Amino acid sequence: MAATIITTEDLREFKHELLEDIKAIVNNQTDFATKKWLKSPEVRDYLSISPGTLQNLRINGTLPYTKVGGVIYYDYEEIQQVMEDNKIHNKF
């Protein structure tokens, strides 16, 4: 089994690609725009991401959340803002 070395630049590129994919999904979906607060399963469906990815976005501070009791809620507008803040403008 061959080992593959992943560099910091590889991870940055993956992050940018992932954020672009998330942005494209968000721009194509409007079903959730009527709700202020979304639960984790709704956010996962909305962004088409796995539970682990959502957890990583919470842990690394990319996606803000509110926890009430044992339930985690995400502000729809904050999700939109994260997408805008991470928009990448390539200049060719």
CB contact at 8 A, 81 and 74:
no
Which tops the pLDDT comparison, 22 or 44? Answer: 44
Tell me the average pLDDT across 42-46: 91
Q: What percent of the chain lies above the pLDDT cut of 90?
A: 57
pLDDT at residue 24, as a whole number? 82
- Mean pLDDT (the chain, rounded): 87
Compare 5 and 91 and report the one with higher pLDDT: 5
CB 57 within 8 A of CB 63: yes
Where does the pLDDT of residue 74 fall: very low under 50, low under 70, confident under 90, or very high at 90 and above? very high
